[in-house]
Amino acid sequence: MNSTYEMIKKHKFIAILRNIPEDKLENTAKALYNGGARLFEITFNPSDPDTVKKTARAFEIIKNACGNGISVGAGTVVKKEYVADAKKMGAEFIVAPNTDQEVISLTKENGMLSIPGAFTPSEIVTAHKLGADIVKIFPIEPHNIPYLKNILSPVSHIPFITTGGVNEDTADELMKTGAVALAAGASVIPVSALNENNFLLIEEKTRTLINIIKNA
C-alpha cells in the first residue's frame, strides 16, 4: 500500500493552504503542525500567472518549517502541466476539484497519490475507474451531508475524503459517513487570525478539529 495513503488513513486530516501570504506561511505551517497536522495541501491558483513559482516557494517554506514526518501535496491541479511542476516541488499527492483523465494518468505515472474531485455517483465511479486512489467528494457543505449519506451506499467500495464545510460542527458527522479523511483550510486558518498574526488560534483550532476527527 502506498505510504502516503497510509499516512492519510492514519492522520485523517489534510490542512489546505490557499492564498496564504508568503510572510505568514512559516508561522502558519508551524501552528498547523503543532496542532497535530501532518498532511498539507498547497494549492495552485490558476488565475495567477506566477502560481507555479509561488507554489514552489510555499512547498519549500512548509517543508523547512515542519521537517520530517509530514506529507505535502499539491491542490487545485486543474492542468496536466501542474502535475510535473508539483512532482519537481516534491509533492506526494495530487488533489483536484474535478476529474481529468490526463491529470490522473500523469499523477500515477509520476508515482504520486491521485485525489480527484467528484460529486455525483457517476463522477465518483468514473474517477475511481480512471485510477483515483481516493476520491474527493466536493463540494460538501453542511446542508449537503444528507446527500452524501444517500449516495454512499452504491459507491461504498471507493475510498473518499470530503472538503468544503468541514469544521468543528460537521467533522464528527462527516467522519461517520466512512470518510478516509477530511480536508479543511478556512475553518482552521481564519482570515482574522492571519491578519492579527494570531498563530496560537490556528494551532488551537487545528488541535480541536483533529481531536473531533480522531474521536468520531
Domain boundaries, the chain: 3-98+163-215
Q: Tell me yes or no: is domain 3-98+163-215 CATH 3.20.20.70.
A: yes
**pLDDT tens digits for range 45-58:** 999 999 999 999 99
Model-level pTM?
0.97
Residue 78 has pLDDT above 70, yes or no: yes
pLDDT confidence band for 13 (50 / 70 / 90): very high
- What lies within 8 Å, CB to CB, of 73 at 6+ separation is 4, 14, 39, 40, 41, 42, 86, 91, 92, 93, 94, 95, 112, 113, 115
Reading the block at residue 215, the C-alpha cell is: 474521536
The amino acid present at 106, given as its one-letter code, is: L
Closest by Cα among 159, 95, 78, 150 to 124: 159
What per-residue confidence (pLDDT) applies to 31? 98
Report how far residue 36's alpha carbon sits from residue 43's, in angstroms, rounded to the nearest whole number: 20
- What lies within 8 Å, CB to CB, of 179 at 6+ separation is 160, 161, 162
What per-residue confidence (pLDDT) applies to 41? 98
Reading the block at residue 1, the C-alpha cell is: 500500500
Q: What is the mean pLDDT of residues 17-37?
A: 97
pLDDT confidence band for 80 (50 / 70 / 90): very high
What per-residue confidence (pLDDT) applies to 36? 98
**pLDDT tens digits for range 30-39:** 999 999 999 9
**pLDDT tens digits for range 117-169:** 999 999 999 999 999 999 999 999 999 999 999 999 899 999 999 999 999 99
Residue 204 has pLDDT above 70, yes or no: yes
Mean pLDDT (the chain, rounded): 96
Residue 1 has pLDDT above 80, yes or no: no
What per-residue confidence (pLDDT) applies to 2? 81
ω before 46 within 30° of 0 (cis)?
A: no
